[in-house]
Amino acid sequence: MNFLRFDDGGVPRYGRLDGEMVAPLEAAPWEGGEEAGRPLPYAGLTLLPPVPPGGKVLCIGRNYLAHAKELGNEVPAEPLVFLKPSTSLLAHGGTVVLPPESERVDFEGELALVIGRRARRVGREAFADVVFGITPALDISARDLQKKDGQWWRAKGFDTFCPCGPVVATGVDASDLGLRTILDGAVKQDGRTSRMIFDLPALVSWVSQAMTLEPGDLLLTGTPEGVGPLAPGQILELEIEGLPRLSVRVEKEV
């Protein structure tokens, strides 16, 4: 099933996408939210990021061999983890804003896991219980600041630097899905999730050793090779096999 979040006259609501229509839910789907109210046409909705603000956005760096090499990095011996603030979340159809502090902002297309259940120090066998679903996500990265700052809080953390959605899909085996990043209609990244260095159950287990995972948290799982720079006016899209395409615009901050 495909779930989303939308603005209902100033009130955020969850819904289940069914063809061209959305059935509103009374609570988040990972909290067991039941359908309530009249179905609404998908085309008329103002979408929100599919997870609520305030949760964690955990990210894995250098989790595909060819991507680690293209940036001249070693393959990590353990998963390389960092966080983006939830203020970086951006809905499908939104605009990635290029900040004046950076001269090189890259796209990174990634599969993201949506956590559905609280988890602390779980093993890889807990994966199916802990993960609610998957969503496409872009780890927008100010590459020059990433090198300069040391800490990645700013390079990865500007507002709008984590587009995701439009939906969270459940019941999908994410272990070998195609992932394509498309810039102005040209395919820039074309990878498969099966090529990760650390697989999805390993990542969930690893991050849960350090911090409690909570429902609505996101875990971006790394990007394949082919990353590159963004420019104002471009359309950036991410397609994960079997899911609706994530699409955002790119503009300079004014």
Q: Which is nearer to Mg ion, 25 or 174 (CB)?
A: 174
Taking a C-beta distance cutoff of 8 angstroms, is the pair 238, 164 a contact? no
> What span, in angstroms and rounded, lies between the C-alpha atoms of 164 and 78?
26
CB of 138 to Mg ion, least distance (A): 9
Q: Which is nearer to Mg ion, 135 or 223 (CB)?
A: 223
Q: How far is CA 124 from CA 27, 111, 202, in A?
A: 28, 18, 6
Q: Pull the structure tokens for residue 5.
A: 């979040």
Q: How far is the CB of 220 from Mg ion (least distance, A)?
A: 6
Closest CA to 140 of 170, 196, 102: 102
252, HSE (Cβ side, Cα atoms, 13 Å): 8
> Smaller CB distance to Mg ion: residue 139 or 239?
139
Residue 210 C-beta: closest distance to Mg ion, Å:
19
Residues that bind Mg ion (CB under 5 A): 108, 139, 223
Q: Which is nearer to Mg ion, 223 or 247 (CB)?
A: 223
Nearer to Mg ion among residue 92 and residue 156 (C-beta): 156
Nearer to Mg ion, 122 or 246 (CB): 246
Closest CA to 8 of 63, 35, 45, 42: 45
* Distance in Å, CB of 176 to Mg ion, minimum: 20
In the complex, least distance from residue 24 CB atom to Mg ion, rounded to whole angstroms: 33
Minimum CB–partner distance for residue 7 and Mg ion (Å):
28
Minimum distance of Mg ion from residue 240's CB (angstroms): 15
Nearer to Mg ion, 139 or 201 (CB): 139
Contact yes or no for 33/26 (Cβ under 8 A): yes
Position closest to Mg ion via CB: 139
